[in-house]
Amino acid sequence: MDPARTPLGQMLLEEITPVVMVLSTPSVEEACLKNGLSFLQMLTPFCSFNNIDVPVRTASDQPYRIHKFKLRLFYGSGVRKPDLKVAEEQLKQVITDSGEKVFSELCTDVPEINHELASSEDRNTPSWFQFFNKELVRVASFSDHEAFDHPVACLLAVSSKDEQPINRFVDLFNTNKLPSLLNDGTMDPKISKHYLLVHDNQDGPTESRASKILTEMRSTFGTSDCLMLCINSSPDAPIKHQVNPWASQISDTSPNQDLDCFLNIDDINEIKDLMQDLTSKHIIPNMEQKIRVLNQQVSATRKGFKNQIKNLWWRKGKEDGADSLNGPTYNFNSIESQIRVLGDYAFMLRDYELALSNYRLISTDYKIDKAWKRYAGVQEMMGLTYFMLDQSRKEAEYCMENAFNTYLKLGSLGQQNATRCGLWWTEMLKARDLYKEAATVYFRICGEDILHSAVMLEQASYCYLLSKPSMSRKYGFHLVLSGEQYKKCDQIKHAIRTYRCALSVFRGTTWSYINDHVHFHIGQWYASLGMYDVAVKHMTEILACSHQSKTTQELFLGDFLQIVEKTGRTFEVTKLQLPVINISSLKIIFEDHRTFGSPSAVNTKEGLWHSLEEEMIPSFTAAKANWLELQSKLIPKKLSQSNVCVAGEAVKVNIEFRNPLQITVPVSGVTLICKYSTSTEELTSNENELSLKTDNEVDHFRDMSSGNSSFLVSEVDFSLGGGETTMVQLSVTPKAVGTLEILGVRWKLSGAIVGFHNFELSHPKKNIVKGRRKPKHPPNEKFKFMVIKSIPKIQGSIHSLPRKAYAGDLRQLMLELRNPSEFPVKNLKMKISHPRFLIIGSQENAKLEFPGCLTKNIDSVQSVTHANPNIMSDTVFSFPVDTSVQGETPLLWPLWFRAAVPGDISLYMSIYYEVADISSVIRYRTLRLHYNVQVLPSLDVSFQISPSRLRIQDFLVRLDVVNKTSSESFQVYQLSSIGHHWEISLLQPPDAIFPSQTLMAGQAISCFFTLKKSRRLPTLEYNISTTHDRSDDVLLVPQCSQDLVYNTNNVPLVNFHHYERLQQKVSLENLGDLNTVDFVLISRPLNSTINHGLSDSPHVMSHHSCHLSTSSTGPISWLVDGPQTLHHDFSASFCEINLKMHLYNSSGVTVFVRIDTSDFDGSGGHLNSVNAVQSATPDNPAGWHDVTPVNELKVTSNALETQPGKALSLESVSPYIWSGSSSTNLHLEPMSSAEVPLQICVFSPGTYDLSNYVLNWNLLGDSDEMSKPSGKCQGYKYYLTVLQST
């Protein structure tokens, strides 16, 4: 790439060009001002030549040609360092102007990142950047350390009008008026002068005076240096030029305003020719001349080995003297300055090789002299020369960096130069596509001046964007940095512009702090410009800033509300982030044929209700046949699948609002947005419309929310504390038949801003509770309802159902049903999920007084007849046919409640009813009630039944009652055994068991009963229905009180008992009912304690224990009968004892029994565990055989006492042997008993446990062999004491 064609090359060709000092008289200026131009301005456009062809020969003999050239013209007063303050102001103005311009463009379009990248080439270097950079470079011009700003020539202009023009010329170049730089010796004052006579043609023709002066001038100053220029040739009327060459010069006037110009084409051509002549014939040859002279001089003094050594030695010598920051001052005629001038002239004439060699030469000198500024300047020029030569890129960059750093080291002195150097450096890097490096350089240019650094940062950001691969994040970051700087110097518009550009990078990122920062500041700045609408738009982005600190949240929200307030109207936005809507919590509750008694019923799974209602509701096909026949013409198929709701009944929507902030947020006016249409066809057409309208959702919603009389929406206000979540129920009540669609929700935040949330469009996945039946809905269908005309709806509740109850608590409740509509309902049915807890009573029960009705003085016959049908039809309860619920009077129906088991119990009830109006879409409805009851443990009742060893049909019952409550006291009142042939009686009088008659909290008691088989009933009674149970009751309180015995065969108790029996039937053995017994323990709480937590103190509590088996050993029971103690003289012989075993078969079938006796020597597996343990631990002296009564035996030594045991175990001799038959087989008929004789032999005195026998039994029923139940029973302990007879 040709370096001259790069932006930097062009810049250098324009900026580093020979300077011509212009000195003019006031009358010259006057003449020019007729055109609205100064003399300088008039000449300037003709100072750059694009196609001249000037041969140049500098130091080398080889001439080359220059095609493009430019001169810079300055007035004498301009040849000095620019005033910093003025320059600053000027730069600021440039920025402000461009800010206004760009901003107005920007407001119309929103930058997109793709767009940005596509058009980055032209966009990202806005024109004003270049202009700004140029201005910045100019600030550093006319520095004393550089030579390219030294005027190479001086143009003296005198008007022909002036008096004594020759003297004027001399005066103009008076040293007093010359710029200080020339006078103080920095610049060479001996510059070539050119004398120009300016003649205004309006003053008269040239010939007369002007030409006379010209000849005079020529004779005075020499022929070649005198020129004449005629201007304003246009006679009277101003000429309008097609192309105004001065347009770029005069920035104040607008470009399309034409200057009144008295310069005609001839004048312009004359100026052009004049300047070209001046350049090609005078200035360039002059410069060539000077270069040659200087080059010779330099070669003579500095080139060659000898000179270098001399130079070095000479420099070293004066080292100590030069220690100031700038190093020594150099005069224009010092050799150093001359080398520099030589280099710069060569550079300007594009002999870069020559320039470079000179720069190199001088650079070391300056370095040694510690003339840092000059050194930096030379380094800078070296870098540029390398660049223009397009060789050694590294060297070029090194030089630039060196220069830049050196300038920076100088501090404020070198600041402008550093900036200029940096800009050139970046241009150099850009020209080589090193954008990333350029960006870092831009970043380094940022000095103390905030405005400059803002612009530099912005340029850096664009460099990042342009780098390959493009670094968009760096771009964004630097834009933000730049925007911040702009803000600091009140360039708000620029700040907004940069931030908006940055937004295109950060949009969609999850870097929360970044997003917040950018949006907040844009919002704030827009607000400061009064553009509140845009501000609000940005501020809404940052509302949900849960990650920020509380103060920041407050700041954000406060600013936001303030801005909204300033807009002066309630703002409406679709994506308001505050509060957050938890869309997954969205639930729509509507009642078609399912109606709900309480919110908790709604939350119950549909499947549960289904299983409950299965038996009640007509089957699906039947229902279809019923109403579709009638309605098929009215309802299109599509809508028959959509949701149905009833006019006048509310559709509720549960939705959760969450406040992500730590501060309280007031939310008001939360309503649903609904759409209503009267016909079904309209709705389908609206669907398309809806999808089209998504673009302007806000408007759409506003339309929707404006009042519609065909439905009512509820409005909810609430305040959300920090981090709180609130579930809100919103409802919409359609008033007429048609179609209703729920579109979304709207709310008002802090009374200022309205937010919308569209349910459907934003979140396609919904959790619809009631949509179970039709899971393949198109998403919109879920929010669409077919509104049908109003039908009756029954409301129901259970009165006085306790929320908490103690286990066993028995109550009478009342179900109340109301029908507020005037239409009657019929065919009421009801089902309860837990008949164990809740039993439907009968109408008669309502009149009964509770708990008096439980006692036995009610005629038992009547209640029994009522009890039976209830137990049988436990599935669905149908109300009597004539039951009707209508109008004011509610239907009351008694229910019995009993808290069966501790725990949290959910009771579900479903009431089915049919709508009398046959034309309705919905023929029947169900009312679903749901109640939760917490059942606390009260009494823990356990029974233990063991067979009595005294009589074969008797049992000993131990009742253990523990009061598990923490504070309640109970009176254990009555125990009833339910079964057809059991008699129960107390072993002790009740006073002995309950002295205080109460069971305190935590207290436990045991009492014993005997249970015997009633002899009164015939044996085969059990075969018939056993529901007609007899009960036998034992009062556990002294009969002194007038309390009566509770009848366990009465209505609620017997029903509950029935369900308890079903429930407790865990592992049913087919032994029949004969051996099982059910107990009901009735207790009463004592009213003395305070029942806090319980709504109503219980009256009666019943505890049921069912299927308690009396026959723990199987179908047979036996009793070993024999002597307990006997005396025998062992000295004579061993003792033979006869025993008798009574066997009884309590089952209904014949039992085969085998009795196996076993002796101790066989340590096999059939020994019982006690014996096995004893044989395994023979050292244990505490065996059963040691139990020798001390009083009977003579006192012996300890050794003697333990001897038999040891001897026994060692020798493994059994203390007794079974001497009868070792195995006896017999068949036992049902319900019969038998006797088996047994015999043992005992060899020594002692106490013996005769339990080592086994009874094997087999049931010999009619069933096949395989499934014959059989079992094995170990003998029970039977102690026999044999004493030595005296």
Which residues are near other proteins by CB under 8 A?
A: 464, 469, 471-474, 476-478, 480, 509-514, 516-517, 549, 551-552
How many Cα atoms occupy the beta-carbon half-sphere of 276 within 13 Å?
A: 15
In the bound complex, what is the minimum distance in angstroms from residue 802's beta carbon to other proteins? 42
Nearer to other proteins, 183 or 509 (CB): 509
Shortest Å, Cβ 664 to other proteins: 22
Q: 394 vs 468, which CB is nearer to other proteins?
A: 468
The whole-angstrom separation of Cα 1058 and Cα 1073 is 14
Which one, 510 or 1191, has the nearer CB to other proteins? 510
CA distance 574 to 754: 8
Q: How far is the CB of 805 from other proteins (least distance, A)?
A: 40
Nearer to other proteins, 168 or 436 (CB): 436
Q: How far is 1012 from 262, CA to CA, in rounded Å?
A: 145
Q: Which is nearer to other proteins, 64 or 513 (CB)?
A: 513
The continuous run of DSSP H or E covering 617 comes out as none
CB of 819 to other proteins, least distance (A): 52
Q: At 480, which amino acid appears?
A: V
Q: How many residues does the chain have?
A: 1286
Tokens describing residue 1060 = 């308890």
Write down the least CB distance from residue 514 to other proteins, Å. 5
CB of 516 to other proteins, least distance (A): 7
CB of 471 to other proteins, least distance (A): 4
Q: How far is the CB of 91 from other proteins (least distance, A)?
A: 25
Judged by DSSP in three states, 720 sits in: strand
Ranges assigned E (strand) in 526-619 = 571-573, 580-589, 594-596
Q: Which is nearer to other proteins, 512 or 868 (CB)?
A: 512
The DSSP bridge partners found for residue 195 are 156, 226
- For residue 1022, the minimal CB distance to other proteins (Å) is 59
Residue 509 CB, shortest distance to other proteins, in Å, is: 7
b/e map 1179-1188, b = 16+ CB within 10 Å: eeeebbbeeb
Query: Smaller CB distance to other proteins: residue 321 or 469?
Result: 469
Sign of CA dihedral 256, 262, 265, 270: negative
Nearer CB in complex with other proteins: 374/452: 452
Q: Report the nearest approach of other proteins to the CB of residue 508 (Å).
A: 10
Report the alpha-carbon distance of residue 1208 to residue 365 in Å, rounded.
Answer: 127
Instruction: Compute how many other C-beta atoms are within 10 angstroms of the C-beta atom of residue 904.
Output: 8
Whichever of 96 and 552 has its CB closer to other proteins, that residue is: 552
Beta carbon of residue 74, minimum distance to other proteins (angstroms, whole number): 40
Helix axes 165-172, 210-221, angle to 10 degrees: 50
For the bound state, the minimum distance from the C-beta of residue 335 to other proteins, rounded and expressed in Å, comes to 44
Q: Which residue has the tokens 């005076």?
A: 209
Two structure tokens written together for 495? 């700040």
Is the CB of 462 or the CB of 1059 nearer to other proteins?
Answer: 462
CA pair distance 1039, 899, nearest whole angstrom: 28
Of 461 and 1048, CB closest to other proteins: 461
Smallest distance from other proteins to CB 499, Å: 12
Q: How far is CA 357 from CA 3, 385, 391, 923, 1125, in A?
A: 19, 10, 14, 108, 141
Three-state secondary structure along 957-1003? Answer: EEEEEEECCCCCCEEEEEEEEECCCEEEEECCCHHHHCCCCCECCCC
Shortest distance, CB of residue 428 to other proteins, whole angstroms? 23
Q: Which amino acid is at 840?
A: I
Write out 826-842 in H/E/C secondary structure.
EEEEEEECCCCCEEECC
Contact 196, 157 (CB under 8 A): yes
Cβ atoms of 62 and 7 within 8 Å: the answer is no
Smallest distance from other proteins to CB 518, Å: 9
Chain centre distance of CA 44? 66
Nearer to other proteins, 459 or 739 (CB): 459
- Of 513 and 1134, nearer to other proteins (C-beta) is 513
Whether residue 588 contacts residue 768, with contact meaning beta carbons closer than 8 Å, is answered with yes
Q: Which residues contact 133 (CB under 8 A, 6 or more apart)?
A: 423
Tokens of 35: 């055109």
Considering the complex, what minimum distance in angstroms separates the CB of residue 484 from other proteins? Answer: 10
Minimum distance, C-beta of residue 511 to other proteins, in the bound complex (Å): 5
**Of 349 and 441, which has the nearer Cβ to other proteins?**
441
Q: Are 1053 and 1099 in contact (CB under 8 A)?
A: no
What amino acid is encoded at 1207 in this protein? A
User: Are 19 and 152 contacting, i.e. CB atoms less than 8 angstroms apart?
Assistant: yes
CA–CA distance, 982 with 1016 (Å, rounded to integer): 10
Is residue 980 within 8 Å of 1017, Cβ to Cβ?
yes
Closest to other proteins by CB, 476 vs 1220, is: 476
Taking the C-alpha atoms of residue 776 and residue 428, their distance in angstroms, rounded to an integer, is 66
- For other proteins, the closer CB: 725 or 884: 725
Q: Are strands 72-75 and 19-24 parallel, antiparallel or unpaired?
A: parallel
- 994 contact partners, CB below 8 Å, separation of at least 6: 972, 1005, 1036, 1037
Beta-carbon contacts of 1198 under 8 Å, excluding residues fewer than 6 positions away, are none
Of residues 440 and 567, the one with the C-beta less far from other proteins: 440
Our CB check for other proteins shows the closer of 272 and 473 to be 473
Angle separating helix axes 415-431 and 7-15, nearest 10 degrees = 140
> How many angstroms separate the first and last alpha carbons of the chain?
142
Q: Which of 71, 6, 7 is nearest to 40 (CA)?
A: 71
